[in-house]
Structure 1
Amino acid sequence: MAALNGITVPQLLRLIGTTDAPVLVDICTDSDFNEDPYLIPGAIRHTHKDVAGLKDILAGRPCVIICARGIKLGQGLAARLRADGIAAEYLAGGMQAWRDHPDTVRVPAAALPEPVDGASLWVTRHRPKIDRIACPWLIRRFVDPAARFLFVSPSEVLAVADRFGAVPFDVEGVAFSHQGENCTFDTMLDVFELHCAPLDQLALVIRAADTNRHDLAPEAAGLLALSVGLSRQFKEDQDQLAQGLLMYDALFRWARDGAGETHDWPGDRSA
C-alpha cells in the first residue's frame, strides 16, 4: 500500500488510457533517465526544479509525480504541489516499480516525435473512418495527451507534413502506415511498444474493420457501422474526431474489462 499522497502501480495502471487519467510527470534525473530511457504511457518529462513551469502546464489538473524510486524527488514535489492546492500524488516505488510490474508497458522515449509548439503534430487524409480515428485515440491516451491532428486532402498529406513539421500517418509510403496485413494501429503498437492484452484485443477488432476482414472479429461489423455513421454525421473532421475518441474510450473499456460479457432477454433468464 502506498503512503499518504502516494499511488501504487496497480492503481495507476487502472487509470492509464482512460479519461480519468491524471497528468503524469516524469521527473527522473537525467542520469537515471538516460540509463533507462522509457516513459509511462502518456507521461511528460519535466525537471523537479521548475515548479512554476510545471504548475503552468498542470493548470490545476490532478497529477502523479514519477521519479526513479518514489523517494525524495517524487514525494517532495508532490508535497510541494499539494501545498499550493494541486491534487498531486507520487508513484510508490517510482519507475523501478512500474518497470518490474508484470502487466505494465513503457514507451521508448526515442520513438516519440519531436514536438511542434510544445506537442506532437500529426497529419493524415481527411474524412477519417477507422484507423484515422483509432490512431489519434491511441496517441492521445497512451503517447501524447496534447497531440494535435491535421486532416487534409490525400494528395497534400506529405507536403503538409514537410511544411509544418507534422508526422504523416495512414498513407502509403510512410513509417506509420499499414504493414502487410496489419493496419496503422498495429504499427503504432509496435513502434511505441504498447502491446498488452486489452490493446491487442482492440487492435484485432480495428484491423478486422479497417481491412474488411470481419471474420477476424465479430465486433468489426459494428465498428465499421459506427465509423461510417460518424463520418456521415459530422462535416468537420475535428468534431468527428472528438466524438470518435469517446467511442474508442468505450471500446478500450470493453477490451479491458468486458470482452467476455454477453447480453440476453429477459434479463433474469437462467443459464
Structure 2
Amino acid sequence: MPNSVSVENLRELLASPAPPIVIDVRRQQAFADSPATIPGSLRRLPESVESWASELPTDGQIVVYCVHGHQVSQGVVSRLQQIGLRAAFLEGGIEHWKSHGGPVQHGGV
C-alpha cells in the first residue's frame, strides 16, 4: 500500500523549512465540481502521470491528493514510488482537509 500523510502531518510539513510539493490529482469532473485547492498545490491529471512525473524533483517529498484519498491519489502515488520518488497521499483527500479546517484557495491553480 502507498504511504500516506494525515491532515495534521501535512500541516506540519507545509510549515517546515523544506515543505513537500503538493499535487491535486482529482479527475477533471471532480475538480470542476469543487475547484478549491490546497494553497500552493500543483494541478495535474492523474491519467497522464507518465507525462508529468519526470518534472518532479527526485530529492524532495511529494504529497498527492484527490477527493477522498482513495483510488485516484493512491494509484498516482504507487506510480510515483515505482519510478523512485518519495510520494504519499493525503488521508481522506481534500474533503478531509477541508473538514478539518485546512486552508483552501479558490480561482484555479
Q: Report 1:96-245 matches (<5 A).
A: 96-102=95-101, 104-110=102-108
Q: 1:20 and 1:39 mapped to 2: Cα distance?
A: 20
Note if 1:68 corresponds to 2:56.
no
Q: What is the SS of the residue equivalent to 2:45?
A: coil
Q: 2:71 and 2:42 mapped to 1: Cα distance?
A: 19
Note if 1:12 corresponds to 2:10.
yes
| Preserved contact between residue 46 and residue 72 of structure 2 (Cα < 8 Å) | yes
Q: Compute the displacement of 1:33 (Å).
A: 1.1
Q: For residues 123-175 of structure 1, what are the alpha-carbon distances to aligned partners after superposition, in whole Å with 9 as ceiling and x for unaligned? A: xxxxxxxxxxxxxxxxxxxxxxxxxxxxxxxxxxxxxxxxxxxxxxxxxxxxx
Q: Name the residue aligned to 1:52.
A: 50
Q: For structure 1, which runs of at least 5 residues remain unmatched after alignment?
A: 113-271
**Percentage of identical aligned residues:** 26
| Preserved contact between residue 2 and residue 74 of structure 2 (Cα < 8 Å) | no
TM-score, normalization by structure 2: 0.89
Q: Name the residue aligned to 2:40.
A: 42
Q: Compute the displacement of 1:57 (Å).
A: 2.0
Q: Compute the displacement of 1:59 (Å).
A: 2.7
The alignment of Structure 1 onto Structure 2 pairs a total of residues equal to 108
TM-score, normalization by structure 1: 0.38
Q: 2:93 and 2:46 mapped to 1: Cα distance?
A: 14
Greater helix content: 1
Q: For structure 2, which runs of at least 5 residues remain unmatched after alignment?
A: none
| Preserved contact between residue 63 and residue 88 of structure 2 (Cα < 8 Å) | yes
Q: For residues 75-130 of structure 1, what are the alpha-carbon distances to aligned partners after superposition, in whole Å with 9 as ceiling and x for unaligned? A: 1110111111110000000011011013x2101134x6xxxxxxxxxxxxxxxxxx
Greater strand content: 2
Q: 1:77 and 1:4 mapped to 2: Cα distance?
A: 9
**Whose relative contact order is higher, 1 or 2, with alpha carbons under 8 Å and at least 6 apart?**
2
Q: What is the SS of the residue equivalent to 1:108?
A: coil
Over the aligned positions, Cα root-mean-square deviation in angstroms equals: 1.7
Q: Name the residue aligned to 1:30.
A: 28
Amino acid at match of 1:47: L
Q: Name the residue aligned to 2:76.
A: 77
Q: 2:74 and 2:9 mapped to 1: Cα distance?
A: 17
1:4/1:30 Cα in 2 relative to 1: closer, same or farther (>3 Å)?
closer
| Preserved contact between residue 5 and residue 90 of structure 1 (Cα < 8 Å) | yes
Q: What is the SS of the residue equivalent to 1:105?
A: coil
Rg (Cα) greater in structure: 1
Q: 1:108 and 1:86 mapped to 2: Cα distance?
A: 29
Q: What is the SS of the residue equivalent to 2:32?
A: helix
Q: Compute the displacement of 1:12 (Å).
A: 0.2
Q: Compute the displacement of 1:9 (Å).
A: 0.5
Amino acid at match of 1:71: H
Q: For residues 243-263 of structure 1, what are the alpha-carbon distances to aligned partners after superposition, in whole Å with 9 as ceiling and x for unaligned? A: xxxxxxxxxxxxxxxxxxxxx
Q: Compute the displacement of 1:20 (Å).
A: 2.1
| Preserved contact between residue 65 and residue 90 of structure 1 (Cα < 8 Å) | yes
Q: 1:52 and 1:17 mapped to 2: Cα distance?
A: 29
